[in-house]
């Protein structure tokens, strides 16, 4: 009986040790109430958008980063895809997607592996051809265009380790 308790305790310690060694992302939204996008200026909408985007970054972290890698992301500004067209009385609370209203994020990031910085920078992430993304267009998921764009950027920057253009 005592041996099984010891074995269970050792297994639990091993599992906790591997969980803490897993990759981790820390996402902060710096002064989101000052972002250009209307949804960030509205308190009730802002909280939901931040929660959804944070969850998305956490999923990307689990999918793409390896043990020992720590990623810090600071979102400095954000514009979601589309805009509200208040002058249209029947659709004033609906985002209208146009070629001229792509999603756009200004992001500062630092990727560390075992404490050593392997990638860092600040850049604007945008997708001018966002409306051509079939996966987002056919998705029923909230913020599909933004998530697709951020997933592609995440893979290029932190998996393939491609530097930003320019």
For 94-149, what is each residue's pLDDT tens digit? 888 999 999 999 999 999 999 999 999 999 999 999 999 888 888 889 999 999 99
Helices (H), 83-143: 134-137
Token pair, residue 106, equals: 């200004």
Tell me how crowded residue 137 is: count the other CB atoms within 10 A of its CB: 13
Taking the C-alpha atoms of residue 160 and residue 28, their distance in angstroms, rounded to an integer, is: 23
Taking the C-alpha atoms of residue 121 and residue 113, their distance in angstroms, rounded to an integer, is: 16
Token pair, residue 70, equals: 């720590």
* Nearest alpha-carbon partner for 50 in 37, 63, 62, 61: 37
Q: What is the pLDDT of residues 58-102, one digit of tens each?
A: 999 999 999 999 999 999 999 999 998 877 777 777 888 999 999
Is pTM, for the whole model, over 0.95? no
């Amino acid at each position: 009986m005592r041996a099984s308790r010891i074995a269970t305790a050792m297994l639990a310690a091993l599992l906790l040790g591997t969980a803490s060694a897993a990759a981790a992302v820390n996402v902060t939204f710096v002064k989101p109430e000052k972002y250009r996008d209307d949804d960030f200026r509205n308190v009730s909408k802002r909280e939901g958008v931040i929660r959804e985007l944070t969850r998305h970054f956490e999923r990307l972290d689990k999918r793409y980063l390896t043990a020992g890698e720590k990623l810090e992301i600071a979102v400095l500004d954000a514009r979601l895809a589309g805009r509200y067209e208040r002058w249209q009385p029947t659709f004033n609370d609906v985002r209208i997607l146009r070629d001229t209203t792509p999603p756009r994020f200004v992001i500062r990031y630092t990727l560390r592996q075992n404490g050593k910085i392997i990638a860092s920078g600040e850049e604007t992430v945008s997708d001018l051809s966002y409306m051509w993304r079939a996966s987002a267009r056919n998705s029923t998921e909230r913020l599909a265009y933004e998530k697709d764009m951020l997933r592609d950027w995440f893979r290029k920057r932190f998996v393939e380790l491609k530097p930003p253009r320019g």
